[in-house]
Amino acid sequence: MDDATTQLADRLLGLRRKAGYSQEQLADLLGVSRQAISKWEGAQGRPEVDNVVEFCSCSCVVRVASTYAGAVPRRVLRAHQGRMAW
C-alpha cells in the first residue's frame, strides 16, 4: 500500500489503543467486523470515510480524518468541533 494508507493505519492503531478499545470493541462500535479493523491497522485496506467519521465520534478525535485531505465535508468537521483533540 501507499504511504497514506500506512500513515492512516498507524494513526488508527495508536488512537484505538489510546482510547482503550480492543479491535472487537471498536468493530462493534463501528458496525464492522474485527477483521476489517485488523486490515485497516495492518495497512491492507482503508476504511470508508463514514467509518472514519464514526471512529472520530467514538474516540473524540477528528484529526485522523485529515489523512483523507478534504474528503470529509466541512459540515461534518464543524459538527465534531467541540470534541476535537488536537
Residue 56 CB: number of other CB atoms within 10 A? 22
| Predicted pLDDT of residue 70 | 53
Transcribe the chain into DSSP letters. --HHHHHHHHHHHHHHHHHT--HHHHHHHHTS-HHHHHHHHTTS----HHHHHHHHHHHT--GGGGGGTT-S-HHHHHHTGGG---
Q: Where in the chain are the domains?
A: 3-83
Residue type at position 85: A
Instruction: Name the fold adopted by 3-83.
Output: 434 Repressor (Amino-terminal Domain) (1.10.260)
| Predicted pLDDT of residue 18 | 81
Kindly state the cell numbers that stand for 55.
Answer: 471512529
| Predicted pLDDT of residue 61 | 52
| Predicted pLDDT of residue 84 | 42
Residues of the chain where predicted confidence (pLDDT) is lower than 50: 60, 62, 65, 69, 83-86
